[in-house]
């Protein structure tokens, strides 16, 4: 295996961020990048300091709510939302940034990313809601769906 491309590198980092997820349904990770520098990261889980699904169980599963619907029932903050929040808490500006994410965004995240003025969204996984496509197209946000990066991390001795 040769050197990772920049897109593969940041997608792989998004996958690592997803490992912090406390969601029982989907582990989602996001990395916001500008000029090849990480501005912020995020993963999906309960708001900071609150009980999460690992402790309480999944309310959406208990109620039989399908993926991609009724977002207000979920206690988790989405990975993209957390990346936006972390950027704002630490003085990061997402205007013109690329957001790498393990899944395509729900419509709520797409609205937030549009208002954050990102330039590009890159993913390898599809979320159940694809209404983001028209919004990104209208907003001029480039969206690339790439192959999933290799999960293996290689080291040279």
80 among known catalytic residues: yes
Active-site residue, from 80, 137, 138, 152 = 80
In three-state secondary structure terms, 6 is: helix
- Say if residues 46 and 39 touch (Cβ distance below 8 Å): no
- Say if residues 74 and 97 touch (Cβ distance below 8 Å): no
Distance CA 89, CA 16 (A): 22
- Say if residues 66 and 74 touch (Cβ distance below 8 Å): no
Distance CA 93, CA 39 (A): 8
Residues forming the active site: 80
């Amino acid at each position: 295996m040769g050197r990772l491309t920049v897109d593969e590198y940041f997608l792989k980092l998004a996958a690592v961020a997803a490992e912090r997820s406390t969601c029982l349904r989907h582990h989602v990770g996001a990395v916001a990048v500008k000029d090849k520098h990480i501005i912020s990261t995020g993963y999906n889980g309960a708001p900071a300091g609150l009980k999460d699904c690992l402790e309480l169980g999944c309310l959406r599963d208990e109620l039989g709510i399908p993926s991609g619907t009724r977002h207000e029932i979920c206690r988790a903050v989405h990975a993209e939302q957390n990346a936006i929040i972390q950027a704002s808490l630490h003085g990061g500006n997402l205007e013109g940034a690329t957001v790498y994410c393990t899944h395509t965004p729900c419509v709520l995240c797409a609205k937030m990313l549009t208002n954050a003025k990102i330039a590009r969204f890159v993913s390898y996984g599809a979320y159940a809601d694809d209404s983001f496509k028209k919004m990104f197209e209208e907003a001029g946000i480039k969206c690339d769906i790439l192959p999933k990066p290799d999960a293996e991390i290689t080291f040279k001795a």
